[in-house]
Amino acid sequence: MDPLVATAVHALGDHPSVPQPASPPDFPSKLWAIADLHLSYKGNREAWEKLQPKPNDGLILAGDVGESAEHLRIAFTQATACFKHVFWCPGNHELYTMPAQKEAGARGEDKYMECVEIAREFGILTPEDDFMLWEGEGEICIIAPIFTLYDYSFRPAHVKLEDALDWAREENIEATDEYLLHADPHTSRIEWCNALLARTEAKLEATLAKHPGAKLVIAGHWPLREDLVKLPLVPRFCLWCGTKKTEDWHKRFNAKVVVSGHLHIRRTDWRDDTRFEEVSLGYPRQWQDCQDRGLDVNDILREILPGPSTGPPEPRSTTQWRKFG
């Protein structure tokens, strides 16, 4: 079983591209986000069917929609029926090559590009597309979906890279990625991560050069900062949660908001006047308390833009837990 289950129950293109303006909304629009829909679960599929229309708003799907093309199409069909603009970035689950596909299924970059092509069937913007200039309610921002992966650098200083997997296994922790997420044509997920980071940095730098002073909404599946990865029951799962190389990206790339998922622990944090939003739904048992209170997937959607009217709380490292949305 994915170790994030226990944690959440406990926790309460190669060339840089530049933004193109979005079509003006009919009235001031908002931007929302959700991640980790995990539509392989019947309960989550049924919940997603209850998504309510916000026809002039936008929605970020920040990874882990599911493992198959069918899951993607279910998610994208409903999202595009309800929202004017939809953005998607991959999580680890979209990249899985399932055992039944072992011989003929796409792997690594090919699996990722299959997902991108499905998103494009629905007019959804991905990390492979130009970033969008968002002119909805509040401050004008550039919406930047990204794909970064992880490199096992979220680990204590005394643990060497070559010992990292054994360190996690000492606590019976090992991500399913080690068996289903392949790096082809790269030699390892670390190598793939490094290539993704180089491409993404170039794209973000080109965007700011084109739009000096612009604020960004950076949306990816994995957290950009290690200090936002708090997994009380399975702390050693941190290995699969990001890379230290993105620690300062919110400052380097002038982020107004950073959106992520993956942890299955909903929260809002502030760092350096940047708002960080973990927006995951999670497996059905992880948000059963919400359903018991009469809440549904619409209550879990997080408002990204314009967002709260007040600034960060004091002290600025304070976390706002979002168990109920």
How is residue 138 annotated by DSSP?
S
The one-letter amino acid at 90: P
Q: Which residues of the chain have pLDDT under 50?
A: 1, 4-18, 23-25
Rg (the chain; Cα; Å): 18
pLDDT of residue 16: 42
What contacts 82, CB < 8 A, 6 or more positions away? 51, 52, 53, 54, 55, 59
pLDDT of residue 2: 52
CA angle 245, 251, 256 (to 5 degrees): 120
Contact between 234 and 4 (Cβ < 8 Å): yes
pLDDT of residue 318: 80
pLDDT of residue 171: 97
pLDDT of residue 258: 98
Q: Which of 219, 245, 218, 240 is nearest to 229 (CA)?
A: 240
CATH number at residue 20: 3.60.21.10
- Specify the pTM: 0.91
Residue 137: how many CA atoms within 13 Å on its side-chain side? 17
pLDDT of residue 22: 52
Cross-sheet strand order for the sheet of 267-271: 20-21, 132-134, 141-145, 215-219, 255-260, 274-278, 267-271, 320-321
pLDDT of residue 105: 84
In whole angstroms, give the CA distance from residue 249 to residue 323. Answer: 27
Number of domains in the chain: 1
In whole angstroms, give the CA distance from residue 104 to residue 300. Answer: 37
Contact between 154 and 247 (Cβ < 8 Å): no
Torsion of CA 31, 35, 39, 42, to 10 degrees: -90
pLDDT of residue 120: 98
pLDDT of residue 139: 87
In whole angstroms, give the CA distance from residue 263 to residue 225. Answer: 12
Q: Name the residue range of residue 311's domain.
A: 4-321
pLDDT of residue 137: 87
pLDDT (tens digit, 9 = 90+) per residue, 71-81? Answer: 999 999 999 99
